[in-house]
């Protein structure tokens, strides 16, 4: 098969999905609103929706250690889209979903991708969801990403979300909502860096509805320049369950960071904990690296890199 | 001087202010909307407002280790009141304010006291503010307390608020707001227990506006029966400052507890931390005390008592 990707698209795919060629297995690559390549397998079916933009991704019960890539690239200024992807993960299946979005905006109009993802995890299924967001482009047009993730988890299912937004996204408003039945586990790891006048808001709502349901929401972020970040998380313990939420932020320059982690125990056997800390890089950490020969800027960059790793 | 207090009033004063007689020094004792005894001193002037219910309490600059008692008793069903007390604490003064409220509601109508307290702390002044809330009475009428505390803190001033509501208050909505200038410190310690169908909401807002301003907000609570508790705290770091907020709650029976501690850093040199934990009493703690001969109920009571001490 020919590689239908140009250099900019390859670079973006490398950044968000770790691929520069068409991937093996099930995939769909969406560029500027169109699929430029798609493939299903016996275990993972990709079916395009006919009533709106997006796909149904159906993973067969019992599928073992498989993966599906569905990266999105925007390379035209002025392109705005809302896409609906629904994932049906069969009983006992185990799958990794790689679903990033990269925007290369060359012009003065804004480019926006809103991805609405809904996951239905059947009993004892497992999903690892990796989502990288990245922006670039010499144009003055804004690069906007508003992901919505809805997760419905049946008994004993497990989901891990790794989301990363390190660079180049001017505005993001991220909403993640999940409902967990008996013994279901949701782990969320978010990494975020903003600079310039960027704005990022993250909102989590996790309903622990089943006995033994548990969640761990961990957010690490760095705010530079005049950027603004808002972190909201709501964990509701409605059954004998466990929830933990943690938000650590490094603040630099004239940035501002707001953390609002809400925990509600509606059941005496719900155990909920949250922690949050906002502060600058400790002076002694910088000094230590400077004695090893780094400049102050290099030391800061090193610490930020380590913090977001 | 004769003691103008009856037995019920004495009991309530003992509970909320640790006194069963008229106190020494500056004081005002308010029973059912009327002052039944009041005294100023050279250093602490109590002046009744003429435009509304309440007092101005003026503490002379440089006053050393003095105290003022202003307890409030409600012993009639159906009595509802809003009282405005303004405290002017002179430069360098050091004073303890004892300001509880007890409600003995013998009837079927509700009894309500809303105390609006405003503190103006001049430079380098220190206030310890003790506020105990207590309810009793065989009647079915609700006992309601809604305290509002506004605090304005000049450079280098220090305030410690100890608030306790252990028993008998059916509904409370507590609002505390503070603005801190350079080097000012605000320490808040809240202890709260609810049972039955009681409701308690606590809201803190602390603005760290000055260099070196700091705050520590610590709430410990126990929710029993079908009671509901909401804890909100907002700390805004608008200058090089430090803020810490902590909320620990024990949940029992069918109670519910919600914690929403918000921290916002609007300055790169603001260091803000919060922690919250909601959970039941650990099983091993109860077992340990039971091996010492306590019943399960006695063990629970002991642990709760220790937690709120």
Mean pLDDT (whole number) for A97-106: 92
SS3 percent helix, strand, coil of chain B, rounded to 5, is 10, 55, 35
Residue B53 has pLDDT above 50, yes or no: yes
The predicted pLDDT at position A11 comes to 85
Local structure of residue B24 (DSSP, 8 states): S
Mean pLDDT (whole number) for A15-42: 89
| Share of residues in chain B with pLDDT > 90 (%) | 77
Q: Please classify residue A55 by burial: count the beta carbons closer than 10 Å to its beta carbon, then call 0-12 exposed, 13-18 middle and 19+ buried.
A: buried
Local structure of residue B141 (DSSP, 8 states): S
Q: What confidence tier does A221 reach under pLDDT thresholds 50, 70, 90?
A: very high
Q: Are strands A26-31 and A66-69 parallel, antiparallel or unpaired?
A: parallel
* Window A:177-216, CB contacts with B under 8 Å: none
The predicted pLDDT at position A3 comes to 64
> What is the spatial distance between Cα B103 and Cα B135, in angstroms, rounded to a whole number?
5
Residue B2 has pLDDT above 70, yes or no: no
The predicted pLDDT at position A139 comes to 85
Local structure of residue A91 (DSSP, 8 states): T
Q: What is the DSSP string of A196-242?
A: TT-EEEEEEEEEE-STT-EEEEEEEEEE-TT-EEEEEEEEEE-SSEE
Mean pLDDT (whole number) for A91-101: 95
Using alpha carbons, select from A308, A171, A287, A155 the residue that is nearest to residue A228: A171
Mean pLDDT (whole number) for B228-233: 96
Q: Are strands A158-167 and A111-121 parallel, antiparallel or unpaired?
A: unpaired
> Taking the mean position of all CA atoms in its chain, how far away is CA A163?
3
Is A259–B260 a contact, with Cβ atoms under 8 angstroms apart?
A: no
Output A263 or B18, whichever has higher pLDDT: A263
Residue A272 has pLDDT above 50, yes or no: yes
Read off the tokens for A19: 């691929």
Residues of chain A contacting B237 with CB distance shorter than 8 Å: 278
Mean pLDDT (whole number) for A48-55: 96
Residue identified by tokens 């506020």 is: B131
Highest mean pLDDT among A292-296, B4-8, B66-70: B66-70
Residues of chain A contacting B278 with CB distance shorter than 8 Å: 237, 263, 265, 270-273
The predicted pLDDT at position A1 comes to 45
Residue B145 has pLDDT above 70, yes or no: yes
> 3-state SS string over chain B?
CCCCCCHHHHHHHHHHHCCCCCCCCEEEEEECCEEEEEECCCCEEEEECCCCCEEEEEECCCCCCEEEECCEEECCCCCEEEEEEEEEECCCCEEEEECCEEEECCCCCCEEEEEEEEEEECCCCEEEEEEEEEEECCCCCCEEECCEEEEEECCCCEEEEEEEEEECCCEEEEEEEEEECCCCEEEEEEEEEECCCCEEEEEEEEEECCCCCEEEEEEEEEECCCCEEEEEEEEEECCCEEEEEEEEEEECCCCEEEEEEEEEECCCCEEEEEEEEEECCCHHHHHHHHHCCCCHHHHHHHHHHHHCC
Query: pLDDT digits over B199-211, tens only?
Result: 999 999 999 999 9
What is the ipTM score, two decimals?
0.85
Q: Please classify residue A65 by burial: count the beta carbons closer than 10 Å to its beta carbon, then call 0-12 exposed, 13-18 middle and 19+ buried.
A: exposed
Read off the tokens for B86: 């303004």
The predicted pLDDT at position A291 comes to 87
What residue of B is the nearest CA neighbor of A236? B258
What residue of A is the nearest CA neighbor of B273? A277
Q: Is B263 helix (H, G, I), strand (E, B) or coil?
A: strand
Q: What confidence tier does A24 reach under pLDDT thresholds 50, 70, 90?
A: confident
The predicted pLDDT at position A2 comes to 55
Closest Cβ–Cβ partner in B263, B279, B280 for A278 = B263
Mean pLDDT (whole number) for B187-204: 96
Closest Cβ–Cβ partner in A255, A265, A277 for B251 = A265
* Window A:224-283, CB contacts with B under 8 Å: 237, 249, 251-266, 268-280
Q: What confidence tier does A149 reach under pLDDT thresholds 50, 70, 90?
A: very high
Is B251–A257 a contact, with Cβ atoms under 8 angstroms apart?
A: no
Mean pLDDT (whole number) for A189-195: 95
The predicted pLDDT at position A15 comes to 86
> What is the spatial distance between Cα A202 and Cα B258, in angstroms, rounded to a whole number?
20
The predicted pLDDT at position B1 comes to 45
Residue A191 has pLDDT above 90, yes or no: yes
Mean pLDDT (whole number) for A16-22: 82
Q: What confidence tier does A292 reach under pLDDT thresholds 50, 70, 90?
A: confident
The predicted pLDDT at position A285 comes to 84
Query: pLDDT digits over B71-122, tens only?
Result: 999 998 999 999 999 999 999 999 999 998 999 999 999 999 999 999 999 9
Is B279–A272 a contact, with Cβ atoms under 8 angstroms apart?
A: yes
Sign of CA dihedral B164, B166, B169, B175: positive
Using alpha carbons, select from A113, A136, A139, A114 the residue that is nearest to residue A32: A113
Is A274–B276 a contact, with Cβ atoms under 8 angstroms apart?
A: yes
Q: What confidence tier does B18 reach under pLDDT thresholds 50, 70, 90?
A: confident
> What is the spatial distance between Cα B188 and Cα B119, in angstroms, rounded to a whole number?
14
Local structure of residue B255 (DSSP, 8 states): -
> What is the spatial distance between Cα B261 and Cα A55, in angstroms, rounded to a whole number?
39
The dihedrals phi and psi of B203, each to the nearest 5 degrees, come to -130, 125
Residue A278 β-bridge partners? A249, B272
Q: How far is A249 from chain B (nearest CA, A)?
A: 10
| Average pLDDT along chain B | 93
Determine which of A118-122, B13-17, B85-89 has the lowest per-residue pLDDT on average. B13-17
* Interface mutation target, options A230, A245, A251, chain B, most CBs of B under 10 Å: A251
Q: How far is B299 from chain A (nearest CA, A)?
A: 17
Residues of chain B contacting A271 with CB distance shorter than 8 Å: 277-280
Residue A14 φ/ψ region, left for φ over 0, alpha for ψ in the -120 to 50 degree band, beta for the rest: alpha
Mean pLDDT (whole number) for B290-300: 88
Confirm or reject contact between A21 and chain B (CB < 8 A).
no
């Amino acid at each position: 098969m020919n590689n239908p990707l140009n250099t900019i698209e390859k670079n973006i795919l490398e950044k968000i999905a770790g691929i520069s060629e068409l991937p093996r297995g099930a995939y769909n690559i969406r560029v500027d609103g169109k699929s430029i390549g798609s493939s299903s397998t016996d275990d993972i079916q990709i079916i395009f929706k006919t009533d709106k933009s997006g796909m149904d991704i159906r993973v067969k019960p019992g599928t073992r250690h498989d993966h599906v890539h569905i990266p999105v690239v925007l390379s035209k200024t002025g392109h705005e889209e809302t896409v609906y992807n629904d994932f049906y993960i069969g009983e006992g299946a185990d799958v990794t979903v790689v679903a990033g979005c990269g925007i290369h905006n060359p012009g003065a109009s804004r480019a926006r991708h809103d991805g609405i993802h809904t996951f239905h995890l059947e009993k004892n299924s497992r999903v690892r969801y990796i989502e990288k967001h990245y922006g670039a482009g010499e144009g003055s047009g804004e690069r906007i990403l508003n992901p919505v993730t809805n997760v419905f988890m049946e008994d004993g299912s497990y989901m891990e979300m790794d989301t990363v937004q390190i660079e180049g996204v001017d505005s993001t408003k991220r909403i993640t909502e999940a409902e967990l039945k008996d013994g279901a586990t949701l782990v969320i790891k978010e990494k975020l860096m903003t600079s310039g006048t960027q704005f990022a808001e993250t909102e989590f709502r996790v309903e622990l509805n089943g006995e033994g349901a548990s969640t761990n929401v961990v957010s690490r972020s760095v705010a530079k320049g005049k950027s603004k970040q808002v972190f909201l998380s709501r964990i509701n313990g409605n059954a004998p369950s466990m929830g933990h939420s943690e938000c650590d932020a490094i603040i630099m320059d004239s940035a501002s960071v707001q953390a609002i982690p809400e925990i509600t125990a509606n059941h005496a056997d719900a155990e909920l904990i949250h922690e949050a800390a906002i502060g600058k890089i400790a002076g002694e950490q910088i000094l230590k690296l400077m004695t090893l020969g780094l400049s102050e800027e290099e030391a800061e960059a090193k610490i930020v890199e380590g913090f977001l790793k």
